[in-house]
Structure 1
Amino acid sequence: MRVVPLLTAAAAALATAAVLAAPAVAQADHGRPIQVRRDHSDVRVPFLVKRAGEAVVDLSAAAPGTDWAVKGGESAVVSIYVDNRYATDLVVSGDQRLPRQLALGSLRQGPHVLRLRFAGDRSAAGSRSVLLDRVKVTTYAPGSAEYLALRYAPIVYGRNLAELGTPYQNATTDTPLIAWHEVGPGSAPGRTKLTYSVVWSNEDGGTNTPALMARWGRTTDIEWVYAVEVDERGDRVAGSDTYQAANHQTLRFAGTYEGDHAQLETCTNNNNMCDKVTDPMRFFLSALPTRPAAEAREYMMDTNSWTYQIMSKEMIREGKIEAASGATPATPEVSDQRNYLYAVVKKTTDRPNTGSSWVGVSLGVRLKSGATVYLSNHVDPTWSIQRDDPAATTVELPAGTTADDIQEITANRVVVGTDNGAVVHVTGIKRGFFLGQDYLPQPSFLTWNGDVTVDAGSPSAVIWRR
């Protein structure tokens, strides 16, 4: 069995000198990637924890010869163990090394070993190895905000729906990509509520692909999965934890814990949860990141730009992209996702915007080359932006459109059902970008702040002009 040293002498000295308030870090030698190979012995990676706490591992990962866009060649999977305890699976796709952060759970002070196993049973048949680099284990001690967030992060087991007919489904479809937490007030004084969310590469059920692009500005699936309240001491309030169940119900958690970590399973084709686990795959994503309150949920994708690449490749492989020969913004079908402007809109509506009748907003884009206004909702009222949080959307444009081709952007009031007379204030565009040739976001070229009103008498207004 191969053994790869994780702590260099310099890193060990640094860890020893760290002050108590700082996280404890063990870091690999950057000059030597770790290769985990099919039909070879597991790789053992020793590391030393200087201070007990909740641990995460940062690394970069690549799987030569795999491609998320190719059926049958999607990924290679590494199963990660800590001291022979199964911690998480890591689904890796493509030759490019992508940064990942995974949770390892609670670790005591002292020596530990990561064991890395090539999971041949859940990897593409032609995949041979996974390359890992920049491996770093960090522990966060009790008393820190990071410790609290990591302490209650859920473990999400894989999906094994009978109708899909294949095992290890999250190795090829709707794979969990990233997670994060949010902190808010609890239901009583002295309580704090922690809410955990996950981004999947897509959803095989639920909202259709064109509506995802129009209403949510992406074809990933983003869902909150678990929430729990803690008291002043940071301890779980008994009976307070909930999860998002089938049909987006909020149910009380009645499952099992590993330490303080609730164990859930993805059990619907639109990635809702069950609190009974049966699937052999396991995803313990780090929920250490948090979303700024003023940002859309897609901010978490923006700060992990590789998620757009995985998103786009899944659409290609699953045949959800319109053939290039017939692709046109005149049809609602999703074309090459590099043809879209990806924007985040900030707006408020002056009355409750729920029920079967509501007033939304679509974005319109006019190019320098003509009078056509391309609408984010493809003229389907129900695909307009309903929510008043900062909201992501996309506008499909002719292939080859660049930022320099855009002349103006409009906000358009859209009525669904009966017009309730709502007035909408559009106050910002927080970002606007195209995907590059590699399906990664290009730099944002579009921001705007102001206050433009659209109402029944003036349902359209220019909010940005070159």
Structure 2
Amino acid sequence: MSHVLDSLKLRQSESEKLKINIKEDGYYSISVKAAASTNWQEDNNESLMLRIYLNNDHHQDIVLFYGKQTFTYKRLLGKMKAGVYEIEVICESPRNNQAFAEVESFVVEKLHLSERETLAVHYAPKLYGRAVYSKYDNLYTDTPLEMIYFFDVWEKGHVIEYHMVFSHEDEGTPAVLLMSKWGRLLDIEYMARVYLNEENEIDHVDYQGPEHQVKRYKHSLNENKQVILQTATCNGNFTDEITSDYHFSFIPSYEWKVEQEAREVVMQRFPYINHVMRWEAERQLQQLDVPYHSIHDIREYIYIQSSVWDVQLGQPSVDILCRLEGEEKWYSSSLHHTTIGSFSAAYTGPYNHFATAIRLPEGKSIHDVAEVKIDLINNTLLKAHVKHLKVFAFDEKNELRPYILLECHEQLSPVEVEKIIWRKEK
């Protein structure tokens, strides 16, 4: 059911009410098509939020991070019974009380879900916003954007693991090293593992607490059997102790195929997240002089997705390098295996599939790349098997797009690679 509005403009504390008629039981979403006078690149004018009330109960909040560009924010209403409901939308703009939202439409629709999708939606955690620097941190920094998930198994049945995509992380790994280690400034964090029994009911839940420690969820589930967490730290870790008063209900939007692709597949599936990532970087990272924290332009990088096998995960193993036309120098994803204490700039994550990025000299682009090769950088390894090499770069429209690799160069190490040579897409 769609409610098209005649250029509804909402300013600070202004609201709009509307009735919706749910005709059959099921899981429902709400899509709000809106723009705002805000701009994610402007200090103190980054965004505002729409507070959603359902039958007078505060249901969730939507951060309008896309500013003046009209964008559809799709969120979970939850499992609903047939009946008439009242939705109220209130505009809150604590960063700039002169800002306003322009809402074009509200669409409430039933979700048509497979059995697995139904489980993923049913147990999707509710997330409370971060309140470390201010009452509403996520209105201007590290805002949550998408929730992804995958299924695993344990002795009693299924496990659903949820991950949250944030626009950045204020603390933790410095920006330059985020690019080398993960191939992004986005923060993609393991959020919770929901363990189900044979009847697909919750047995227990683990989540990622501060300092990346796995914690057992100890609170009672709400009436909808939801886990409730809050972003607790400035590097995207969580707590089950709720202290903030704004919260989000994301629809698990993509079942991540862990054995086939890197988490960074979200950068292709949801292109808008790259825009928000870039805007936040331009606002926060261009003027920094602190080593490893300053990023001038994320479009100066090429982005790699690949996978490494026959190695012990959790330790550095391979570096990916590129050479430009007319040069002999190689540019390295791991900054030529930079280490800071025990921290390595190379990928050390827990998955075979990974992403990284290589910064090119100013004024150079993917079109100047002549070769790409892989180097074994862990001297305790005799060999590593690298496959599924893909290269991406931002085009002239600021969209991240793939470039074809037919064959990969192998010169400096005993790395086993798929038979592929670099070829530029026409």
Give the TM-score band, short-chain normalised: 0.7 to 0.9
Decide which of 392, 399, 407 is 1:441's aligned counterpart: 399
**TM-superposition CA deviations, 1:92-113 (whole Å, max 9, x none):** 1321123332111221112223
Assess if the C-alpha contact under 8 Å between 1:425 and 1:454 holds in 2: no
**TM-superposition CA deviations, 1:107-139 (whole Å, max 9, x none):** 11122232211013x343331224344x33233
List alignment gaps of at least 5 residues for structure 2. Answer: none
TM-score normalised by structure 2 residue count: 0.88
Assess if the C-alpha contact under 8 Å between 2:332 and 2:358 holds in 1: yes
Match of 1:395 in 2: 358
Assess if the C-alpha contact under 8 Å between 1:61 and 1:132 holds in 2: yes
Cα gap change, 1:396 to 1:465, in 2 (>3 Å) = same
Alignment of 1:238-387 (within 5 A): 240-258=204-222, 259-293=224-258, 294-318=260-284, 320-321=285-286, 333-348=294-309, 350-354=310-314, 358-379=315-336, 380-381=338-339, 382-387=344-349
Match of 2:80 in 1: 107
Question: How far apart are the structure 2 equivalents of 1:373 and 1:81?
Answer: 56
Assess if the C-alpha contact under 8 Å between 1:359 and 1:386 holds in 2: yes
Match of 2:147 in 1: 179
Question: How far apart are the structure 1 equivalents of 2:59 and 2:323?
Answer: 50
Question: How far apart are the structure 1 equivalents of 2:115 and 2:31?
Answer: 19
Assess if the C-alpha contact under 8 Å between 2:190 and 2:208 holds in 1: yes
Question: How far apart are the structure 1 equivalents of 2:381 and 2:116?
Answer: 44
Assess if the C-alpha contact under 8 Å between 1:36 and 1:117 holds in 2: no
Cα gap change, 1:453 to 1:460, in 2 (>3 Å) = same
Question: How far apart are the structure 2 equivalents of 1:362 and 1:334?
Answer: 21
Aligned residue type for 1:68: W
Aligned residue type for 2:404: L
Cα gap change, 1:169 to 1:253, in 2 (>3 Å) = same
Question: How far apart are the structure 2 equivalents of 1:332 and 1:80?
Answer: 37
| Structure 1 residue matching 2:68: 3-state secondary structure | strand
Decide which of 151, 156, 168 is 1:202's aligned counterpart: 168
Aligned residue type for 1:247: E
Question: How far apart are the structure 2 equivalents of 1:374 and 1:399?
Answer: 13
Match of 1:118 in 2: 91
Please, which moves more after superposition, 280-289 or 40-49? Answer: 40-49
Assess if the C-alpha contact under 8 Å between 2:407 and 2:419 holds in 1: no
Cα gap change, 1:461 to 1:390, in 2 (>3 Å) = closer
Decide which of 232, 237, 242 is 2:198's aligned counterpart: 232
Cα gap change, 1:425 to 1:106, in 2 (>3 Å) = same
Match of 1:5 in 2: none
CA displacement at 1:152 relative to structure 2: 0.9
1:222 lines up with 2:188 in the alignment = yes
Aligned residue type for 1:423: K
Match of 1:148 in 2: 119
Cα gap change, 1:368 to 1:422, in 2 (>3 Å) = same
Cα gap change, 1:336 to 1:53, in 2 (>3 Å) = same
Please, which moves more after superposition, 381-390 or 96-105? Answer: 381-390
List alignment gaps of at least 5 residues for structure 1. Answer: 1-25
CA displacement at 1:460 relative to structure 2: 11
TM-score normalised by structure 1 residue count: 0.81
Assess if the C-alpha contact under 8 Å between 1:73 and 1:125 holds in 2: no
Aligned residue type for 1:173: T
Match of 1:11 in 2: none
CA displacement at 1:408 relative to structure 2: 1.0
Decide which of 7, 10, 15 is 1:42's aligned counterpart: 15
Cα gap change, 1:286 to 1:313, in 2 (>3 Å) = same
Question: How far apart are the structure 1 equivalents of 2:218 and 2:165?
Answer: 24
**TM-superposition CA deviations, 1:407-454 (whole Å, max 9, x none):** 111112213xxx2124111212234222545xx42431234578x878
Percent of aligned pairs with the same residue? 24
Cα gap change, 1:295 to 1:445, in 2 (>3 Å) = same
| Structure 1 residue matching 2:29: 3-state secondary structure | strand
| Structure 1 residue matching 2:334: 3-state secondary structure | coil
Question: How far apart are the structure 2 equivalents of 1:428 and 1:360?
Answer: 16
Assess if the C-alpha contact under 8 Å between 1:49 and 1:109 holds in 2: yes
